[in-house]
Amino acid sequence: MIKITFPDNSVKEFEAGISGLGIARSLSNSLAKEVLSITVNGEIWDISRPINEDSNIKLHTWDDAEGKYAFWHSSAHLMAEALEALYPGVKFGIGPAIEMGFYYDVDLGNDTVLSDKDLPKIEQKMLELARNKSEYQRTDVTKEEALQFFADKNEEYKIELINDLEDGTISFYKQGDFTDLCRGPHLPNTSYIKAIKLNSIAGAYWRGDEKRPQLTRIYGITFPKKKFLDEYVVMMEEAKKRDHRKLGKEMELFTFSQNVGQGMPLWLPKGAQLRESLETFLKRVQKKFGYEQVITPHIGNINLYKTSGHYEKYGADSFQAIQTPQEGEEYLLKPMNCPHHCEIYKFKPRSYKDLPIRYAEFGTVYRYEQSGELHGLTRVRSFTQDDAHLFCTPDQLKDEFKKVIDIIFIIFKALDFTEYTAQISLRDKVNREKYIGNDENWDKAEQAIIEAAEEKGLNTVVEYGEAAFYGPKLDFMIKDAIGRKWQLGTIQVDYNLPERFELEYVGSDNQKHRPIMIHRAPFGSMERFVAVLLEHTGGKFPLWLTPEQVVIMPISEKYNDYAQKVLNSLNNSDIRAVLDDRNEKIGRKIRDSELKKTPYLIIVGEKEATDGTVSVRRQGEGDLGSQSIQEFTDFINKEVEDQLSSIEKY
């Protein structure tokens, strides 16, 4: 008999060799029908895999990320089986599950080019194969056996992957007539897959290397029920309307230029105003929490990043070193702000009485992302982080951590992110070799995060093995208005950089000690945050944030002078107003303004010019009637004041 410990710490005994599916059946038949994967001692397994020793387990259904992972991983194999049946001789690269679905990189040969028109045919073949109820069968193989199998199939990509693996760690999965190199997990059989949608085709360099062959990447998603697919299709249609690239162009927020360079966003005046409003808001909040603004260069000596470890970690993804006229002197475009902040901390001796110290910077960093990975504002080569680094004593760590959570709450409230979970990322329970620092410091840091999250009443999930190499962290996962999940806001505890940079403070015992460093970025990056915000709001920002709060529309050019007078009055009262004096019909102007999501429209004609008033329309609500210029000014300023004061009351 073996002892199985469940997430609620209850323990039950089972015969050795029982599977996750068997455990689910022992609990309820309905659970057995829904379970898709199982975590055993921190590792995700097939639910059909036997458990032979005492274990901590957690069963996963479609509602869990781990359940979807097994489902979509299995679906990638099903698509590969369909491709092999339809295109004999196809060669396979990698086919992972991703956040929403899966993809497979394939080499169809020089004479075969897939297009979107081919996707329905592949979908139909997948459905046909799924109905066969083929079992996903796992087999452990030697490295020699694995190499021979794929050599016989002339699969050079798989052979390259196998050569990177250690003997004794290799497994195959087979379903139907298809066998793949894989460590799992997978579903029990293909019949679980009921609905399929292949979304798109793209090019992808093998192993992300532009010098290697370009493969065909096929993206797809599958579901256990047809209604889930129907809901997904509706969501994707809404997502197209909210695409930040589309809205950014329509609202004239940002653009890209090949002459400037890929992944280098250009912020247009309205986009710059939006960013400035976000920065001003966060600076205002940070000031109340005791932060000090700093500014650091866009480049740094290469040795700075070697000391921090970022050169080793990001060197391959950074722009090449900048050579100076002095021999042997090299600089890098900075990939991170934290090494610079460490040097600011070091510029003079510190006492425990000085701590905590909180440095904040909207610092622009640069990383050379592969061109195929670039995507609007969400994946760029130049981006600005709302970075801050806190230096504190061990006794201050938990309170400082909780205050950062407070700032993130304020931001979420300000921008109407109401649904979120917090992921506590801790060390691997078994493998401690990939982490630096001593166990005592790690235990304190992990406990501080756990206690801080508990005291703040966060809805949390704990993930072992997901900590950074230098310390545990807390990541906030938000759900947007149409149900998609995004990672926004991260807080990390770091014992590594203070050690590497030899940071010190003199304690109350008159001895030198290392401070603890907290990294935090509530927005993450301004670029990605604006992209998420655009898609969450559909471009309809709260009045305090919107770049153009009011557009003034004269009915004809006869009233342009009066419209200009209204504009000057509003701008003098810090209301962001613009004048639309184009020689267009008023209906066209209103439609254009609606497209740009401007909250308030002012229409002026003969009556308004005579009475000294404005006719007001609210986007989505229509006519609000006539007001004097001062009444409208007071109305707008009060709405902004009410919005900001309600946020800051948190």
**Claim to verify: residue 232 and residue 295 sit in the same structural domain:** no
56-91 tens-digit pLDDT = 999 999 999 899 999 999 999 999 999 999 999 999
Asked if residue 564 has pLDDT above 60, the reply is yes
**Claim to verify: residue 495 and residue 633 sit in the same structural domain:** no
In a domain, 125, yes or no: yes
609-627 tens-digit pLDDT = 999 999 999 987 888 899 9
In a domain, 33, yes or no: yes
Q: Which of the following is catalytic: 175, 286, 385, 396?
A: 385
Asked if residue 648 has pLDDT above 70, the reply is no
**Claim to verify: residue 135 and residue 43 sit in the same structural domain:** no
Q: Which of the following is catalytic: 105, 180, 182, 338?
A: 338
**Claim to verify: residue 38 and residue 79 sit in the same structural domain:** no
Check which CATH number belongs to the domain holding 526 and give it.
3.30.930.10
In a domain, 490, yes or no: yes
In a domain, 213, yes or no: yes
Q: Which of the following is catalytic: 389, 513, 536, 589?
A: 389
The whole-number average pLDDT for the span 304-314 is: 83
Closest by Cα among 606, 609, 565, 557 to 585: 557
Q: Say whether 387 is catalytic.
A: yes
Q: Which of the following is catalytic: 473, 513, 536, 589?
A: 473
Asked if residue 352 has pLDDT above 60, the reply is yes
**Claim to verify: residue 86 and residue 208 sit in the same structural domain:** yes
Confidence of residue 326 (pLDDT cuts 50, 70, 90): confident
Number of domains in the chain: 4
Inter-axis angle of helices 439-455 and 397-414, to 10 degrees?
Answer: 40
Q: Contact, 474 vs 425, CB < 8 A?
A: yes
User: What is the Cβ-side half-sphere exposure of residue 316, based on CA atoms within 13 angstroms?
Assistant: 6
Asked if residue 422 has pLDDT above 80, the reply is yes
507-528 tens-digit pLDDT = 999 999 999 999 999 998 999 9
**Claim to verify: residue 382 and residue 464 sit in the same structural domain:** yes
**Claim to verify: residue 90 and residue 19 sit in the same structural domain:** no
> What pLDDT sits at residue 649?
61
Last residue of a domain, one of 537, 556, 574: 537
Q: Say whether 473 is catalytic.
A: yes
Q: Say whether 536 is catalytic.
A: no
The whole-number average pLDDT for the span 428-455 is: 82
Confidence of residue 324 (pLDDT cuts 50, 70, 90): confident
Asked if residue 650 has pLDDT above 60, the reply is no
Check which CATH number belongs to the domain holding 8 and give it.
3.10.20.30
Q: Which of the following is catalytic: 242, 270, 484, 519?
A: 519
DSSP 154-220: T-HHHHHHHHTSPTTSEEEEEETTEEEE------SBGGG--EEEEEEEEEEEGGG-TTSPEEEEEEE
Check which CATH number belongs to the domain holding 200 and give it.
3.30.980.10
207-218 tens-digit pLDDT = 888 789 899 999
Q: Quote the mean pLDDT of the chain.
A: 90
The pTM of this model reads: 0.81
Confidence of residue 353 (pLDDT cuts 50, 70, 90): very high
The whole-number average pLDDT for the span 37-56 is: 90
In a domain, 255, yes or no: no
In a domain, 522, yes or no: yes
Last residue of a domain, one of 503, 537, 571: 537
Q: Is 338 annotated as a binding residue?
A: yes
Asked if residue 556 has pLDDT above 90, the reply is no
> What pLDDT sits at residue 299?
93
In a domain, 94, yes or no: yes
Check which CATH number belongs to the domain holding 635 and give it.
3.40.50.800
**Claim to verify: residue 218 and residue 107 sit in the same structural domain:** yes
**Claim to verify: residue 12 and residue 81 sit in the same structural domain:** no
Query: Domain range for residue 630?
Result: 548-648
In a domain, 639, yes or no: yes
Q: Which of the following is catalytic: 387, 480, 494, 580?
A: 387
The whole-number average pLDDT for the span 273-277 is: 95
The whole-number average pLDDT for the span 590-619 is: 89
Which range (133-142, 162-171, 514-523) has the least confidence? 162-171
d(CA 445, CA 162): 38
**Claim to verify: residue 489 and residue 604 sit in the same structural domain:** no
Last residue of a domain, one of 189, 216, 241: 241
